[in-house]
Amino acid sequence: MSKRNRRKKAVVERPAAVTLTPQNPATPKESATKSLRQSLKAMAEMRQKEMTKKLAGISTLSSRQEPEEGRFTNSIVKGNRLITPPYDPIKLYAINESSAILPQCIEAMIANIDGFGYELMYSGPSDSQYSDASQKEKQRLIQFFGQVNESQSFITLRKALRRDIEVTGNAYMEVIRFLDGKLAMLYYMDSRYVRLQAIQRDPVEIEVELLRDGEIKKVKVMKRFRAFAMIQTGNRIKWFKEYGGPRKMDAYTGKYEGDAEGQTKEIRQEASELIHLKIGNDTYGIPRWIGNVLNAMGMHASDFVNWDLFENQVVPPLFILVSGGSLTSESVQDVMDILMQKRGTENFNKVVILESQGEGGVDEKNTAKVDVKEMSMARKEDAMFTNYVEKGEKRVRASFRLPPLYLGMAETYAKATADSAKMVTEEQVFVPERFNFDEIINILLMPALGATVWRYRSKGPRLVTGQDVISAFDTFSKWGVFTINEGIRVANNVLGLDLTVYEGKDKAPWADYPVALVMALANLGQLSGVEEIQSITEPLTDALGSIENDEQAAKMYLALSHLRNTLRKLADQRDEAAKLSDATMGGRIEFRPEEHE
C-alpha cells in the first residue's frame, strides 16, 4: 500500500476543524471537476431558495397591519366615489415598523408636541377671571379634557392622533354629541382604514360665529362638505360626515337626509362627525418623511444583509491547497459541507482542507505540493454599508428637523450646545406644531363646549434652569416688576410648586403691590401684618424639599433664609417702634392703601 493511501484524516483546529474521512480510491480529474461544478450550481440554487424564503418572511411584518375591518377593494372605492390616498397608509405603517430610525423620530415628535399637557388661558375681562361663572366654565372644560371618552384623556387621544399624522400624514377624530348638540365624547379613528369621498358639488349654507369689534357676530357662509368612509368586518362601510355639517347622514348608506335617494327612507343610525387632521393642503396629508422613504427602506435592507452575513458566512478564513493532482472525493464533500451546510456563527472560522491525488503512476514522479491561501480579503469581518446607514439616518432625521439630542445620539454634546439645540428645535418645530393643533381646538371644539372666556393652549417643556429663575426673581423684584402674588404664581408655574396666593379670605392689600414697595414700607414700619410676609417662607421651605436638583435647592434655601432673617429684624424694629408710638402718639401707624391712592 502506498504512503498516500495510508494517510489518516487530518484535523485543523481554529477554533474548530473540518474532519476529513479516509480518502477513497482516486477519481479522474474530469469527473471531480464536473462534480464540483454541479455541487456549486446546486448550492447557488439552494441559496436562492433560502433567500427568497427569508425575504418573504421579512415582508410578512406587514401582516400584523392587515386590518381586521377589511380592505378597500377597487369595487368599493369606485362604487362609493372614494378617493385613493397617494400612499397606502398600511404600507407606510409597515415601513415605519421595520425602520431603525423612523420610530425614534416619530416618538420624539409625539413626546415634545403632545406630551406636556395643556393649560386653559383666560381671555375675558380682567376683572371677571375669578368670578363664579368664569371658574364654573373652567371646571367644565377641565372635566371634559380630563376624560374625552370612557377610557382616554385628551392627552392620550392626541398622542394617538399625532402618531397617525407623523406616520401617514393624516389623522381622524370622531366627535359624538348629546341630543342637545353639545359635545359628549371624542374618539380616535385609525387612519389606515378611513377614506375620503369626493367633495359635494353643491354648497350648503351654514351659520358661523365670528368675533368682530369685541362682539360675537353670526355670519352665514356657503361651504361644501365631504363624507368619510371606514372599512369594517366583511368589507362593510361605515359613514361619517364632516365636522360642522348641518344635515343628518345615515351611517349605513352615507346618504344625507333630504337626498333624492333617501327621502322615503328613515335614517337607521345618524352618522357622527369627523375632524380630519393632516400635513399639507392636499386632499390627503403627506407624511413629512416621504421624500426619504427609499432611505428608510434601504437602511432596512442593509441591516438584513448584515444579519445574513452572520447567518450565511460561507467564505472560510483560509484554504489549504494540495496541488499537483485531481481533487479527491473527500475534498469535494468538504467544499459542499462548508458552502452549503457549515454556516452560522458556530462555523464562522472553519478551515477547509483540499486534497489532491497525483495523476502519475506508482513508478512516476509526482509533483504534488501544499499551498495555504488566505481568504481574509474576501471575508466581511465587520458591518457593511455603515456610511450609507449613517448618512441615511441624518437625512431621515432632517425630514423631521430633529437634532441628534432628541434621539439619544448626542454623547458628546456640551451643555451650551444642548441648550441651543433644544431652544432652536422648540421654536422652529414643536411650537408651530402645537400652535396649529391649538388653533383647530379653539376654533372647532371650544365654542361647541360653551367656552367663552377660556382658550386651550398646549404646554411645552421648561427651558429655563433654577438659577435663571432665581436671578430673574431678584432682578424683577428690585425693579418693582413682581408683586408677592405674581411671584408666587410664577414660582408655581416654573418650579412646579403649589403655593397659595393671597386671595379671597386670605387677601392682603400688600400682596398685590410690588415687592420693592412692600419691603420699603416694612423698613419704615408702615406696613401692618409683616408677620404674614414672614409666613410666606414657610410653605416655600416645605415645597423646596421636592426639588431634586441639590444645587438649585441650596441656593433657594439660602435666599429664603436671608429673607426670613431680614423680615425677623423688621418685625423686631416694628415692635420697638410700636412701643414708642404707644408712649408718644397713642398707637402705631398702619399703612392703608386706600389712603395713598
For residue 413, the number of C-alpha atoms closer than 13 Å in the C-beta half-sphere is 17
How many angstroms separate the CA atoms of 86 and 376, rounded?
48
Please classify residue 105 by burial: count the beta carbons closer than 10 Å to its beta carbon, then call 0-12 exposed, 13-18 middle and 19+ buried: buried
How many angstroms separate the CA atoms of 403 and 427, rounded?
13
| CB distance 348 to 317 below 8 Å | no
How many angstroms separate the CA atoms of 424 and 438, rounded?
21
Secondary structure class of 456 (helix, strand, coil): strand
Closest by CA to 240, choosing from 292, 305, 194, is: 194
Cα angle: 108, vertex 113, 115; to 5 degrees: 85
What sign does the CA torsion over 430, 433, 437, 439 have?
A: positive
Place of cell 466581511: 380
Q: Which residues of 431-445 are buried (b: 16+ CB within 10 A; e: fewer)?
A: eebbeebbeebbebb
Per-residue pLDDT at 592: 47
Which residue type, as a one-letter code, is found at position 221? V
C-alpha cell at 142: 377641565
Per-residue pLDDT at 235: 82
C-alpha cell at 63: 401582516
**What pTM did the predictor assign?**
0.67
Longest dimension (CA), the chain: 144
How many angstroms separate the CA atoms of 433 and 430, rounded?
5
Spell out the SS3 assignment of 150-163: CCCCHHHHHHHHHH
H-state helical runs in 209-343: 293-311, 329-336
Give the dihedral of Cα atoms 577, 580, 586, 587; nearest 10 deg: 10
Per-residue pLDDT at 20: 38
Closest by CA to 114, choosing from 163, 170, 150, 147, is: 163
C-alpha cell at 396: 431621515
How is residue 207 annotated by DSSP?
Answer: E
Per-residue pLDDT of the chain (597 residues; tens, 9 = 90+): 444 444 443 333 344 433 334 444 445 555 656 666 676 677 667 766 665 555 444 443 333 334 456 778 888 999 899 999 999 999 999 999 999 899 999 999 999 999 999 999 999 888 888 899 999 999 999 999 999 999 999 999 999 999 999 999 999 999 999 888 889 999 999 999 999 999 998 899 999 888 888 788 899 999 999 999 999 887 889 999 999 999 999 999 898 887 755 444 678 889 999 999 999 999 999 999 999 999 899 888 888 877 777 666 656 666 666 666 666 677 667 766 765 655 555 555 566 666 666 655 555 666 666 676 776 666 665 667 888 888 999 999 999 999 999 988 877 678 888 888 899 999 999 999 999 999 999 999 999 999 999 999 999 987 776 667 777 777 777 777 778 888 888 777 766 677 777 765 456 677 777 877 777 777 766 665 545 554 555 555 555 556 666 666 666 666 666 666 666 666 666 667 666 666 655 444 444 444 444
Per-residue pLDDT at 318: 65
Secondary structure class of 518 (helix, strand, coil): helix
Distances in Å between the Cα of 368 and the Cα atoms of 78, 92, 321, 357, 365 are 76, 61, 10, 8, 9
Per-residue pLDDT at 409: 80
How many angstroms separate the CA atoms of 523 and 35, rounded?
107
| Strand (E) or helix (H) holding 372 | strand 369-374
Per-residue pLDDT at 66: 41
How many angstroms separate the CA atoms of 530 and 70, rounded?
73
